[in-house]
Each structure stands twice: as C-alpha cells, then as structure tokens.
Chain A
Amino acid sequence: QSALTQPRSVSGSPGQSVTISCTGTSSDVGGYNYVSWYQQHPGKAPKLMIYDVSKRPSGVPDRFSGSKSGNTASLTISGLQAEDEADYYCCSYAGSYTSYVVFGGGTKLTVL
C-alpha cells in the first residue's frame, strides 16, 4: 500500500490561509469518507485535528477545516498562527483488501 501524496512543505504568513492536499486513489481517499488529519510538533505525539473528512474533535479551533473531492482530500487552516507551524499528516481508511489504514508522507507547515 503506497503512502498518500502530500506536498513536502507549505508556508504562509500569520493571518493568511493555507491548504494542504492529500491525494490517494479510489481504493482509499476516494472510496471512503474516512479521512483524518494529524498535527505533529517536533518530538511530540500526533494530535487529531480532523476526522471523517470534515469533523473537528472537541477543542480543535474552527480555523481548521477539512474537505474532499474525488481522490483528493484537503486541510485548510485559516487565520494562521505561529503555533500552527508543525508537520501535518493525512490518513485514510483503505478497506479490508489492502492494509486498512494508510498515512500520507507528511507536510511541513512554516509560518513566515
């Protein structure tokens, strides 16, 4: 099972919006509405930011939003803040005929 494709890096200035894409196939991202996004600061465990494509867990700011079109999911962060600088990973259910769960390669977000 190949990893989902994410841009290696994105950047934005405080207050701006950025979007991170996550491209898979019809066997994972495109086939199920089970895409999640994780934020990981250096040396820390990942944190769930979005699940089921667009749902936010309690405590996650509404500046974070998720969407999906076809085989590509997206995470949009609006009103960028310095503390948003981190690595972001998408993750998708991939069904029982493959390896069930697949992560993306990760995207480094830099807040300029």
Chain B
Amino acid sequence: QVQLVQSGAEVKKPGASVKVSCKASGYTFTSYAMHWVRQAPGQRLEWMGWINAGNGNTKYSQKFQGRVTITRDTSASTAYMELSSLRSEDTAVYYCARARSSIAALPDMDVWGKGTTVTVSS
C-alpha cells in the first residue's frame, strides 16, 4: 500500500541543522510531488515547501526561504527536508505529505507520513 515512512525523532541545539527523511513506497515516486508541513505543539499546520519528485523543482514558503532545503533521491524513493539555524521556535512535528498534483504546489496532500518530532533545546 502507499505509505510514507519518516525518520526518527531528533534533538538539536540552537544553531544546528536537522535533516528529516521521508521514504515513499507503493507508488511511482517520480510521478508525484511532496510537501513538507510542520506543527508546533498545540499550534496550527504550517506549510514549509514542496518538491516535484520527478524533476526536482522546489517551492518554499517565504517564512523559511534561506533556511530550508528540500531534496530528493529518486533511486531511494526518498525526499528530504533540511532546516538550518535552528531555534527553539522550530520545535515541532514535521510531516511529509504526497501531493496529488506534481504540476504546481497545490494543497492536495493525499498521503501523509506519521511525522518526525524535532526538539530544539540547549
């Protein structure tokens, strides 16, 4: 079945970087796109960015521009989200979510990973 398996929880110090992986299975990875969404404790969902898994084209939220990098490895059917210059406010659950459309960063996220908890603390 279609599923996204994310990497395990991370604890990072302020100023460090974190890289979260999202391994896809059950479908043709390069035929879809992938969104990254985060949710701080008790807060709303927040969109971070998107990658077309076929051609590697990316789109980022202005809020995270310059701090976030989304990549993919087609041979491993895996997408990655790296966030740098971490601060305490980046403590959140980070989700990858498959996009139904690969043409543009449309908000049609039909399959979600279980989430990766990232804690930023000194």
Contacts and interface: CB of A to CB of B under 8 A. Distances in A.
The answer on A and B forming one complex is yes
A36 B108 contact: yes
Given A38-B45, A103-B44, A104-B44, A48 B109 contact: yes
Contacts of A102: 47
- List 3 A-B pairs, minimum CB-CB distance, nearest first: A45-B112, A101-B47, A91-B107
Interface of B: 35, 37, 44-47, 50, 59, 61-63, 95, 97, 100, 104-110, 112-115
Contacts of B95: 45-46
A48 B110 contact: yes
A48 B44 contact: no
A51 B44 contact: no
Contacts of A104: 44
Interface string A17-56: 0000000000000000011101010000111100110000
Interface stretch (A63-71, A78-86, A92-100): A92-100
Interface of A: 1, 3, 34-36, 38, 40, 45-48, 51-52, 57, 89, 91-93, 96, 98-106
Contacts of B114: 45
Contacts of A91: 45, 47, 107, 109
B107 A34 contact: yes
Contacts of A92: 107
